[in-house]
Structure 1
Amino acid sequence: MDEEERPSRDGDGHGETTARRTFDWAETKPSSAVVEVVSSALGAAATDVEPLYTAVDPDALDKLVSDPDGRRDCTAVVVSFTFADRHVTVEGTGTVVAEPVNVG
């Protein structure tokens, strides 16, 4: 798994981190990866982050961006949504990015 975290240029350093990681969907469900990356960006435990289902259907997300049976190519799939004050992008290639939502 590749991992990158960097402070946002516009942030004050408190909870303003952009996190990017690449996963193998055969080993990690996309829904679990989102919670992991967002909690890392927030500097919080995964259990302290609101439930993912408040933003997106976790089962639908898993089915959209991964195919554990290998019957279809998901590499061109990109899903974006807002979760826990982060703009989240999940790619069929395995990349998950969580960026601060720019307010104002």
Structure 2
Amino acid sequence: MSSSCTQNQVARQEFDWSETPPSVAVAYTIAAIDNTVVTEVSPLYEYVDPQSLDSLVTDTGTVTISFTAYGYSVQLTDSTVIVREK
């Protein structure tokens, strides 16, 4: 996992989906932008179905998923989670 955050409140982290499920990756990226630990992030299922997210975003396909959660715009691509302040 590699990560970066900017002053413009954008967090970008790269993941290997075979090692980290996308739903978990979103939680880690939200924690990074909020400068907190992942256990302090509220459950993702309050915003999106984690199982559906994990089944859509895989290491064998090409897909881009966008949704709003935790007051941020969240985007998942081939190997990256990008979280932007709304």
TM-score by length of 1: 0.77
> Which residue of structure 2 aligns with residue 2 of structure 1?
2
- Unaligned 5+ segments in structure 2 are none
SS of 1:26's equivalent in the other structure is coil
1:62-91: per-residue Cα shift (whole Å, max 9, x none)? 000115xxxxx412x111111111110011
Q: Which amino acid aligns with 1:28?
A: T
Tell me the equivalent position of 1:84.
Answer: 70
Match of 2:11 in 1: 19
* Identity %, equivalent residues: 38
2:83 is the alignment partner of 1:98: yes
Equivalent residue, structure 1, for 2:40: 48
Q: In the aligned structure 1, how far is the partner of 2:74 from the partner of 2:27? A: 10
RMSD of aligned residue pairs (Cα, Å): 1.2
Which amino acid letter does the alignment assign opposite residue 82 of structure 2? Answer: V
TM-score, normalising length: structure 2: 0.92
Name the CA distance, whole Å, in 2 between partners of 1:42 and 1:4.
Answer: 12
Greater relative contact order (Cα < 8 A, sep 6+)? 2
Give the residue type in structure 2 aligned to 1:95.
Answer: T
Query: Which residue is 1:14 aligned to?
Result: none
Q: Which runs of 4+ in 1 moved over 3 A?
A: none
What is the CA–CA distance in structure 2 between the aligned matches of 1:74 and 1:58, rounded to whole Å?
Answer: 18
Counterparts of 1:45 and 1:4, CA distance in 2 = 15
